[in-house]
Structure 1
């Protein structure tokens, strides 16, 4: 692995007592010294409130930014949201002002923000870089004047192995930027942040911020209590098996249908994702309907569950291809969990199976030149091979995809590819396009290994691969996941799903191609309708080659509901988000494989219009809020700084050398227009120096009555 050591930067990270009352509750001042220049870091507290009704959730995320110094700051915070989140509202509060943000085209929003910054006004800009990666920029964050930004998003909750699952991502892991195909030649002159080289459009990833704890013994050095979480759950049916394997929770039983869940200790450090799972007892229906109508039209969402049929006794021969990420970010707990998974996965193979083992970091290597039969001796040798693997280097997923699909499948077998990775890359679009081109008749099952993985990439890989995604927390028993995977691969799959809408006139259905339906899961179909009242639709599919049908009677809201003009119902924005996701998947598909050969610019225009019409963040729309009052009389004196992040739990410090440096300094190559942040301002360069010398930090904590040595 590339070790990033910058001997020209002398860095000292200091944790100092706050100089103002407002900052006293925020955990102290954090600053660094780079070549004698002091870099001040803004402080952050986050409160999350999730209100769940059945399988719908609306989440408010309240971010409070505080400047503990005596000089104005411009702040940038890199943070995650759920990849399915429809972010439809943002409010900024500063002093006695409350400003509701406006949705604008990304270029207009950035211009609005920059103008406010130069005027000395407080401003907030929310930019979506990926469906699960955002930045919040704060202009003119003044001493003794906190800025509070509240985001609101809605989503449906997926059903995973029979449980509904609420995932609140809390930290963005390091991103490795591939050095693979598509890197343009080095330009001799300065270029804009979007410069076309051949088929690739180059855009910058947001600069990865300082990570407290990388190179240190104590990852909690910034603040152990940055996040508070509260979940108000109304299942509509009796709730059972409520649990979280990621955090210790306190549960309040309101009724058999209602629970309130909070963190047992009130607050936590934001170094791993929060996951809550539950069942709804007595919910034996195989289809459910949600619908809403207002002046924008009628919107519906139908959830389908698979039919209960016996497992297949005679399993067809399979070529099982296990692809293991052995890059530096997988070092420690993740690679150990992957090895534990492989032990049980190989032992669960059938005698008529063949298997391959591929591992990748800077390049891809394979256990054997050809697939081998799943004999006891071959399995034993495969386990020896896996046990000897170490995690080091970059995350060149394209090389692994080429290795996995570059040769024909073993004759007479169905190829099934199991990916084990944290997904810490910046070239998601390239990977998804490559899979669409290479997959043929194979299936891909994506297993995210880690406490805060790139769920967006893994879910999209599974969708492209006609499989499913699962996630392995390294603190869990990976053998349980292996056993469940083996069982699910042997369970019947409902394929070739179609819907006969009967006399119901519908439009704008998503997804455009309905995915296969696995046992314990669910598929959601969303669209717009014209006629209210009762209608019968029929869902058809194949299970083990046999035709299966499910008639559904739906009752759709009448036109009278339009008079209420309520826009607080989440169904329309969730529909709009599903349309956006569907359009982005088409963008990430080679043009010759798109339905009706739709042009990329048309898809981009569709996404932008949906964002503007439904007030949603997208790759090309952003929220911006500007105060009426001027808060900084000397805006030219403000310095820019990033909110520091904690190191992801379970990820070793080695991952925060190569990954940060590459993500922060190399442009992102995509033909798919995934948006990146603007090029870092000159004042940010000192912050990047902190990243470059991250392994050489020395940490001190200064309290009100002296300074104590913490570690190094």
Structure 2
């Protein structure tokens, strides 16, 4: 039918037909879409009978983000829930050789729902964590030390019952997690953690380091594994994972280009040195200093600091009159505890004239991007300048691949050193941190019986890995005649790995946190490499019944003190230390009666005994079962958090009804200062102000760009809002549709009449 014929037929139709057609057209245009929309809304609503309102979680789109936040995906597409925020206050009292620290964390829930906050935070690797308090309003709940599994069960039971609870667990000696359950809408919960740590002394400088940020850690895939076959005869078993707790040590990290710094931190140190103070210096932060007297100062962080780098404070005695001996005591129960610092003298002696064979290992993985790579290159360039023509050397670089500059160590002549410098200058930071194989390559000694060279390994890295135990096992198994010297690079190095690797490798640990420190730190390192150590050390107490740590004293390098902790029935008599400085015998006797009063020495002694058990287990001198028994006994007796024990606090009064949903909220961390976000996580496709990485390993291993949607899709959350608003909108649309029909029918009726 052509259009002309259709028009003639339309004009010949009765009037009522035309009115009906217009009515139908109006319904199609205006009313049916409203009805369809209302029907769609109602069909999307869950069929449920309950009408009581449940807590609503504040949701937003990426376009609505106004400040740095961590957003967790909800079940509604394109909408997210804001994570819990945290603020940290660190209060430290230094009393002679020890520091007593109280860390106060304030968790604030910005949402309208109930949440569980999970926060990963660093602590000094040699600290003794022993106290936990949770403050809710005016209620103070004190934590108890329990075996780890028991503490976890208590926490989970309290969480399910709607009670506020806090759980402090050790994931590594320098990495802890704090879980806080049942934080109500817009509520604050305060958690306080108490710990003791020893003051460090090296090269006449006293120091205190407080780690403030957990660096993102590379967790290697399970390539090198061992199998555990069940003993029940079924033949089935499981394969090992080099990082069995990878989910617990991986926290979301904010991109500093798109997010304001989070986790504000305040630090206050009351420094009571016990001697007249000279220079007091904060290495990486601006501080305010108040002098109380010649021996006491109060140091506070300048306003506006955030947890994105470690805090380090150093001090020296006035006129450089550093004490060579320190002796302190504490009486607890029936026992006395002693802590002794003894620095051997620097004696001019005939140096070991043997040349050195040095293997330099440099980390050029993604976490070394930014200033860290510059510091590592400068440090290695300085090291090459200190080589002598008779020395031999090699350079190994690694990310998730590895290259040896030479097939074997070569003479340190001008040509080879120049080749090494060109190789180092060409390095770029990228990729993962597969540290195990380059370490094994460095430890591989083709001439293990050759005593004509002093064999040394200098390892430059930030240590940002999760498989520390694999590396420590490798050092213990393959160290041979090599000595391992660790150089920590960057604003937040993994000090636990560095110190333990140096201890097992019979070397030392040097930390370089800024470019300005490179020359001084490397000069100190080579002073240790080039000078003979104090060897064959033996310590004896004249009184019997002494439990001393370390039981086997390590060799000392120039400027390092011998630090001994001991448990005695009675602090009386003398302590005598003997050793060899080069070829000369050395001896020092210290009377114990005049020891000064110290604080927390019993807990520091127990913490060091726990570390001894870990080291002996790694070296294979005791079994893992024996080490675990020793660790558990010490931890329970002295109330310490270890890998086998945790602190748990529970408020007996429920605060959340059991039928109210609880959302897990992983608290985000800042990227350590100086790190390059793209080098760590791969180049990102950036969208809005809150692109976070809830799964660091997946992003680090991925070769494709990661969008905000990709990053946030990892964390589905329950939909906690009610459907009341949708039902109201649907009802309003139906009312509008009904009204339109009524008006149309009324108008049609009037025209017909």
Cα gap change, 1:12/1:610 in structure 2, threshold over 3 Å: closer, same or farther? Answer: farther
- Which residue is equivalent to 1:520? 559
- Which residue is equivalent to 1:580? 610
**2:299 pairs with 1:269:** no
Cα gap change, 1:571/1:29 in structure 2, threshold over 3 Å: closer, same or farther? Answer: same
The answer as to whether partners of 2:485 and 2:502 remain within 8 angstroms in 1 is yes
Quote the Cα distance in structure 1 between the aligned partners of 2:173 and 2:385.
37
Structure whose residues are more often helix by fraction: 2
Cα gap change, 1:409/1:482 in structure 2, threshold over 3 Å: closer, same or farther? Answer: farther
- Which residue is equivalent to 2:499? 459
Deviation (angstroms), 1:68: 1.2
The answer as to whether partners of 1:117 and 1:635 remain within 8 angstroms in 2 is no
The answer as to whether partners of 1:15 and 1:30 remain within 8 angstroms in 2 is no
Deviation (angstroms), 1:574: 0.6
**2:629 pairs with 1:605:** yes
**2:642 pairs with 1:618:** yes
Deviation (angstroms), 1:482: 2.1
TM-score normalized with structure 2 length: 0.78
Deviation (angstroms), 1:179: 3.0
Post-superposition CA distance 1:566-591 (Å, at most 9, x none): xx9301101110111111112222x3
Specify the SS of the correspondent of 1:425: coil
**2:384 pairs with 1:342:** no
The answer as to whether partners of 2:282 and 2:312 remain within 8 angstroms in 1 is yes
- Which residue is equivalent to 1:381? 419
Cα gap change, 1:415/1:663 in structure 2, threshold over 3 Å: closer, same or farther? Answer: farther
Quote the Cα distance in structure 2 between the aligned partners of 1:605 and 1:556.
35
The answer as to whether partners of 1:319 and 1:354 remain within 8 angstroms in 2 is yes
- Which residue is equivalent to 2:571? 532
- Which residue is equivalent to 1:509? 548
Cα gap change, 1:201/1:238 in structure 2, threshold over 3 Å: closer, same or farther? Answer: closer
Cα gap change, 1:30/1:321 in structure 2, threshold over 3 Å: closer, same or farther? Answer: closer
Cα gap change, 1:510/1:207 in structure 2, threshold over 3 Å: closer, same or farther? Answer: closer
- Which residue is equivalent to 1:300? 338
Post-superposition CA distance 1:288-309 (Å, at most 9, x none): 2111122152211111212221
Post-superposition CA distance 1:507-535 (Å, at most 9, x none): 332123211212222221112112333x1
**2:111 pairs with 1:81:** no
Quote the Cα distance in structure 2 between the aligned partners of 1:164 and 1:358.
33
The answer as to whether partners of 2:160 and 2:658 remain within 8 angstroms in 1 is no
Cα gap change, 1:228/1:324 in structure 2, threshold over 3 Å: closer, same or farther? Answer: same
**2:651 pairs with 1:627:** yes
**Which of the two has higher C-alpha Rg?**
2
The answer as to whether partners of 2:351 and 2:582 remain within 8 angstroms in 1 is no
The answer as to whether partners of 2:171 and 2:177 remain within 8 angstroms in 1 is yes
Cα gap change, 1:273/1:285 in structure 2, threshold over 3 Å: closer, same or farther? Answer: closer
Specify the SS of the correspondent of 1:476: helix
- Equivalent in 437, 462, 465 of residue 425 of structure 1: 465
- Which residue is equivalent to 1:20? none
Specify the SS of the correspondent of 1:170: coil
Deviation (angstroms), 1:477: 4.2
- Which residue is equivalent to 1:699? none
Specify the SS of the correspondent of 2:415: helix
- Equivalent in 630, 650, 666 of residue 674 of structure 2: 650
Deviation (angstroms), 1:407: 3.1
- Which residue is equivalent to 1:406? 444
- Which residue is equivalent to 2:490? 450
**2:264 pairs with 1:230:** no
Quote the Cα distance in structure 1 between the aligned partners of 2:188 and 2:639.
26
- Which residue is equivalent to 1:244? 282
Q: Which moved more, 1:413-422 or 1:389-398?
A: 389-398
Specify the SS of the correspondent of 2:516: coil
Matches within 5 A, 1:162-181: 162-179=204-221, 181=223
Cα gap change, 1:311/1:177 in structure 2, threshold over 3 Å: closer, same or farther? Answer: farther
Quote the Cα distance in structure 2 between the aligned partners of 1:470 and 1:403.
22
- Which residue is equivalent to 1:476? 516
**2:124 pairs with 1:51:** no
Quote the Cα distance in structure 1 between the aligned partners of 2:186 and 2:329.
46
Quote the Cα distance in structure 1 between the aligned partners of 2:129 and 2:227.
37
Quote the Cα distance in structure 1 between the aligned partners of 2:187 and 2:678.
37
**2:359 pairs with 1:321:** yes
The answer as to whether partners of 1:231 and 1:261 remain within 8 angstroms in 2 is yes
> Where does structure 1 lack aligned partners over 5 or more consecutive residues?
1-10, 18-26, 188-194, 562-567, 667-685, 694-712
- Equivalent in 589, 592, 609 of residue 554 of structure 1: 592
- Which residue is equivalent to 1:678? none
Quote the Cα distance in structure 2 between the aligned partners of 1:515 and 1:532.
24
The answer as to whether partners of 2:219 and 2:243 remain within 8 angstroms in 1 is no
Cα gap change, 1:67/1:297 in structure 2, threshold over 3 Å: closer, same or farther? Answer: same
Cα gap change, 1:117/1:305 in structure 2, threshold over 3 Å: closer, same or farther? Answer: same
Structure whose residues are more often strand by fraction: 1
Deviation (angstroms), 1:13: 5.5
Quote the Cα distance in structure 2 between the aligned partners of 1:199 and 1:375.
44
Specify the SS of the correspondent of 1:588: helix
The answer as to whether partners of 1:128 and 1:618 remain within 8 angstroms in 2 is yes
The answer as to whether partners of 1:306 and 1:518 remain within 8 angstroms in 2 is no
Specify the SS of the correspondent of 1:217: coil
- Equivalent in 591, 601, 612 of residue 571 of structure 1: 601
The answer as to whether partners of 2:114 and 2:661 remain within 8 angstroms in 1 is yes
Post-superposition CA distance 1:12-66 (Å, at most 9, x none): 657867xxxxxxxxx8865344653523210111110110012210000000101
Deviation (angstroms), 1:118: 0.8
Quote the Cα distance in structure 2 between the aligned partners of 1:335 and 1:613.
45
Quote the Cα distance in structure 1 between the aligned partners of 2:532 and 2:447.
22
Quote the Cα distance in structure 1 between the aligned partners of 2:339 and 2:333.
18
Length, aligned pairs only: 627
Quote the Cα distance in structure 2 between the aligned partners of 1:302 and 1:330.
38
The answer as to whether partners of 1:299 and 1:572 remain within 8 angstroms in 2 is yes
The answer as to whether partners of 1:83 and 1:456 remain within 8 angstroms in 2 is yes
Quote the Cα distance in structure 2 between the aligned partners of 1:506 and 1:85.
26
**2:160 pairs with 1:118:** yes
Specify the SS of the correspondent of 1:518: coil
Specify the SS of the correspondent of 2:215: coil
Deviation (angstroms), 1:180: 5.9
Quote the Cα distance in structure 2 between the aligned partners of 1:127 and 1:164.
30
Post-superposition CA distance 1:176-207 (Å, at most 9, x none): 112365446899xxxxxxx8537989444415
Quote the Cα distance in structure 2 between the aligned partners of 1:374 and 1:691.
53
Quote the Cα distance in structure 1 between the aligned partners of 2:68 and 2:360.
46
Quote the Cα distance in structure 2 between the aligned partners of 1:635 and 1:96.
26
- Equivalent in 365, 375, 391 of residue 353 of structure 1: 391
Deviation (angstroms), 1:150: 0.5
TM-score normalized with structure 1 length: 0.83
Cα gap change, 1:529/1:186 in structure 2, threshold over 3 Å: closer, same or farther? Answer: closer
